[in-house]
Amino acid sequence: MNNCLICNINLADKTGSHIIPHFLLKRIDNEEGSKKRDKEMGFLLSEFHPSSYFGRATKPETLEKVYGEVTEERIEQNEIPLVEDNIFCSACEKRLGEIESAYANTLKNGSEPNSNYQNLEDSFLAFIFWTSIVWRLSIAQKSGFKLNASDEEKLQIVLSQFLSIEIYDLDNLKKEGILENISYKILRSINYSDEKSTVLFCHPDIQNPYFFVIDEFILVFSIEKTKNQTGFESIDEQLNNAEMNTAFDGEMIRSVEPKIIDGIQEYFYSELSKRYLLNLSKEIDIIHRKLGGRGQIPMPIKEEIAKKIINDDDQPSGVKYTLKHKVKIIFEVLKKYGG
């Protein structure tokens, strides 16, 4: 057993560690109407092979809607991407849980869209909460996000030394300098997930600041002094009016309209679709050659294959887009053309 990735001292004996706190994740991927643990029912969207997963307490009727017949093979293959075993020790896991619970209790405040409000005066609690999420996403196996090596190391040092809900002597922390230049801004569309589905999205191409959408929050996190710009006009306009948060000055959140989250989700789905179709085109040619064909499939036939995969309503959503499903459709279409 390896050592805990936070303290690097104790054995990593804890199982079922959440990369994203449960109080946020349950609003992204829980079975509809449920906020309990082990009720996950989510989709991991990918430009290659989108997949799905479910918690062990998910209702059988819900699983049947998504997968049709749920076989033993499907249950064995099930893997929840943002829950991992043996990465933290029990002591560090407990401290993470205390911070998450304390921060969750602060989110009862709010304000009208296009305004800033103070979420809490204890700046260090908020700072260590968001820092832990950014770092955990980086060390997670299937988050799709990675800090650069020096940034990941710096945040690990911060967490190993200061992971606690206790208020530190902030004057001494300023003198130590390790927290210098780490800052973040938060945009929040309050109660967005009450009406609409939400996502976890870590932008792969924006670094320093790093850019995340987590449920109803947009987090822009900087580890060195930099302008907090993302390249999204609507978001950057709000960021220009948002307060910069550090470990020392209380946490300010900028309330935004739902359309800000809507725009990011539309961008996410649009870009993912483009990349998926590009990779699907390559896969079709590879499968074509493995079936004994030569060269590349003409684009009109590729488009027919893509439409058939997308519009195959005979398959439950948990089966569509898998490699097995794609191969089946490709074979059917190529067979029609004598391929």
Identify whether 121 is part of a domain.
Answer: yes
Kindly tell me if the per-residue pLDDT of 189 is higher than 90. yes
Identify whether 36 is part of a domain.
Answer: yes
Of residues 159 and 339, which shows the higher confidence score? 159
Identify whether 65 is part of a domain.
Answer: no
Identify whether 265 is part of a domain.
Answer: no
pLDDT digits (tens, 9 = 90+) for 309-318: 877 777 776 6
E strands present in 90-142? 115-120
Report the domain count for the chain.
1
Q: How far is CA 187 from the centre of its chain?
A: 16
Residues β-bridged to residue 120 = 251
Identify whether 54 is part of a domain.
Answer: no
3-state class (DSSP) for residue 188: strand
Which pLDDT band, with edges at 50, 70 and 90, does 186 fall under? very high
The 10 Å CB-count burial string (b at 16+, else e) for 203-219 is beeeeebbbbbbbbbbb
pLDDT digits (tens, 9 = 90+) for 167-183: 656 666 666 677 878 99
Identify whether 110 is part of a domain.
Answer: yes
Q: What is the CA radius of gyration of the chain?
A: 22
Identify whether 5 is part of a domain.
Answer: no
Which pLDDT band, with edges at 50, 70 and 90, does 154 fall under? very high
Token representation of residue 113 = 């869209």
pLDDT digits (tens, 9 = 90+) for 87-139: 999 999 999 999 999 999 999 888 999 999 999 887 889 999 999 999 999 99
Identify whether 230 is part of a domain.
Answer: yes
pLDDT digits (tens, 9 = 90+) for 3-52: 999 999 999 999 989 999 988 887 776 555 555 565 554 555 555 565 65
CA distances from 86 to 137, 198, 238 (A): 15, 28, 39
Q: Taking the model in full, what pTM does it have?
A: 0.77
Give the pLDDT score at 218.
93
| Host domain of residue 170 | 17-40+81-256
